[in-house]
Amino acid sequence: MQAVDNFILERWRLLDATVVLAALAQHAKVDATYVPATSILSTRWHANVGGQDFELLLTGPKFWDTRSAKGGGGAVDLVMHLERLSFKKATARLAGLGL
């Protein structure tokens, strides 16, 4: 894969994590009982990606994996985390998903 254009990278940095999760997950469900502690924009999701279960807090482009106590921001970081991919493979995955 060729180098990714900076415009595309910026779009992926700002892409809402719920959009990315919906594209990656075999199953994803928002937890309607979740009451955010800090940002009222945060949501909690239970998802299965690649056969692994995750509990994620999502706020805009940012994510926090409550089980592994790891987080990040942007679509590339989320794909790298959920699918355990390198940067290069994560960008190819996002491009393949049409995001």
pLDDT tens digits along 58-68: 999 999 999 99
- Backbone dihedral angles phi then psi of residue 26, each to the nearest 5 degrees: -75, -30
Of the candidates 31, 17, 26, which has an alpha carbon nearest to the alpha carbon of residue 64?
A: 17
Mapping DSSP to helix (H, G, I), strand (E, B) and coil, where does residue 58 land?
strand
pLDDT tens digits for 6-22?
999 999 999 999 999 99
Residue type present at position 52: Q
Residue type, 68: S
Predicted model pTM:
0.91
State the pLDDT at residue 2.
Answer: 63
